Amino acid sequence: MKNVAILGSTGSIGTQTIEVLKANPDDFKLVAISAGSNIRLLEEQIREFHPEICAVWDENKAKELEIAVADVVPSCRIVSGMDGLIEVAVIDSSDILITAVVGMIGITPTIAAINAGKDIGLANKETLVTAGHIIMPLAKEKGISILPVDSEHSAIFQCLNGERENHINKILLTASGGPFRGKTREELAEVTLEMALKHPNWSMGRKITIDSSTMVNKGLEVIEAKWLFDVDPSQIEVVVQPQSIIHSMVEFDDGAVMAQLGTPDMRLPIQYALYYPKRVYLEGKRLDFSTLTEITFSKPDPDTFLGLRYAYKAIECGGSMPTVFNAANECAVAKFLNKEIQFLEIYEMIDYCMNEHTNISDPSVEQILETEKWVYDIIESRWNR
Ligand code: NDP
Ligand code: MG
């Protein structure tokens, strides 16, 4: 029996993690949950799973939830704010923390969990993009495992089974190309929020869906892969594979290419992280090679989808530049989701912040969070309307 804690239990990854736990009640117990403000779903989760603790970011919502679940036996402790998230991350009884929050808010609780000796099922890529240089050595020092949940990274991780001694020549990171694949820059100027929210293959949270449409998501994943698999960014090649059947590949020195294939279903990488190294039955569609007519490949278009270009630039600079890339994107996407800016302004904001930034090498957590604040401040002053 494995005890599981989840940061972001109400989101796309969080609820799919719970589906996996529910399908395997003899193997897992949910001991801690958390969310930003969705107390309606948290209440359902508390009534169904009786976790020991539940964190709500919003303090008032936490108080409301406390009253709503007062009748639950055994009771669940409701906590709030960053201290609350940290309590969920380090709870004594957990064996693994699934980091399914969105954004840099995950940095502090993830580091706290690693310090407390918890294995991490990592979905929250923004944390690794901005603080990979702190997290990876710390995980090694504490002897804990970082198990990738992102489908591409899970695929690479699966391709590397039994290959630890072998040198990776190249990582072939697949990308669907998102809803705007093939569009020109002029056409991108016209796209709406509703169009950007329609991903062709995956149903995901709103922020990552926008990131997929700008290809910033793939950029974040290049940086994520660099940290997870200890490769140079020049060894990571993005391959557009629009059917999302090949989840990524690894090329070894002898020219052999290993790939992991499957239907697009996030429960597989989630379940693989939870059970690693064991594979168990997962109900769902299987690939049918008698009807699968094609798997196609093309090169990304980094001149149009600048997300990828900025990501390579950020990781080449290193230091605090990936934080600037990520934070500017988080800020811009929030504005785009609020219909405050146009699609292409997401790129403008990232570019502006990266150009204005004086890089800090090897930033501490405090410096990363200060850099995040600096980004939000300069975007506010430059785009103040
Ligand atoms: P969602 O937006 O669906 O869910 C985000 C979760 O984080 C929700 O539970 C939300 O709570 C919670 N949250 C937001 N802000 C806070 C906060 N301040 N404090 C505590 N909790 C908070 O996102 P996804 O599930 O799509 O993505 C989660 C992470 O996983 C992201 O980093 C994403 O890049 C990554 N990922 C997602 C994939 C997917 O298929 N969805 C695939 C690969 C990676 P509330 O509901 O209350 O807002
Ligand atoms: Mg992915």
What does the H/E/C string look like for 190-237? CCCHHHHCCCCCCCCCHHHHHHHHHCHHHHHHHHHHHHHHCCCHHHEE
- Which pLDDT belongs to residue 202? 83
- Output the tens digit of pLDDT for each of the chain's 385 residues: 999 999 999 999 999 999 999 999 999 999 999 999 999 999 999 999 999 999 999 999 999 999 999 999 888 999 999 999 999 999 999 999 999 999 999 999 999 999 999 999 999 999 999 999 999 999 999 999 999 999 999 999 999 999 989 999 999 999 999 999 999 999 999 999 999 999 888 889 999 999 999 999 999 999 999 999 999 999 999 999 999 999 999 999 999 999 999 999 999 999 999 999 999 999 999 999 999 999 999 999 999 999 999 999 999 999 999 999 999 999 999 999 999 999 999 999 999 999 999 999 999 999 999 999 999 999 999 998 6
Ligand 1 mean position, distance from CA 17 (Å) = 12
DSSP state of 160: T
- Which pLDDT belongs to residue 238? 98
Ligand nearest to the CA of 266: 1
Ligand 2 mean position, distance from CA 273 (Å) = 14
* Ligand 1 close to Cβ of residue 109 (< 6 A): no
Q: Tell me the best of 208, 213, 214, 369 to mutate to test the pocket of ligand 1, counting ligand atoms within 8 Å of each CB and taking the most.
A: 208
* Ligand 1 close to Cβ of residue 266 (< 6 A): yes
* Ligand 1 close to Cβ of residue 8 (< 6 A): yes
Q: Tell me the best of 12, 125, 202 to mutate to test the pocket of ligand 1, counting ligand atoms within 8 Å of each CB and taking the most.
A: 12
Please name the residue whose Cα sits nearest to atom 16 of ligand 1. Answer: 36
Ligand 1 mean position, distance from CA 288 (Å) = 31
DSSP state of 7: E
- Nearest 5°: the CA angle 90, 95, 99 is 65
* Ligand 1 close to Cβ of residue 38 (< 6 A): yes
* Ligand 1 close to Cβ of residue 269 (< 6 A): no
User: If we measure between CA atoms, which residue out of 31, 30, 28, 88 comes closest to residue 57?
Assistant: 88
* Ligand 1 close to Cβ of residue 6 (< 6 A): no
Please name the residue whose Cα sits nearest to atom 26 of ligand 1. Answer: 205
- Cβ–Cβ under 8 Å, residues 227 and 122: no
Ligand 2 mean position, distance from CA 152 (Å) = 5
- Nearest 5°: the CA angle 101, 264, 107 is 20
Ligand 1 mean position, distance from CA 184 (Å) = 30
Ligand 2 mean position, distance from CA 161 (Å) = 19
Ligand 1 mean position, distance from CA 381 (Å) = 28
* Ligand 1 close to Cβ of residue 12 (< 6 A): yes
Tally the C-alpha atoms within 13 A of residue 112's C-alpha that lie toward its C-beta: 18
Which ranges of the chain would DSSP assign to H, the alpha helix?
A: 12-23, 39-49, 59-68, 81-90, 107-115, 125-142, 151-159, 185-188, 193-196, 206-214, 216-229, 267-275, 306-317, 321-337, 343-356, 365-382
State pTM to two decimals. 0.98
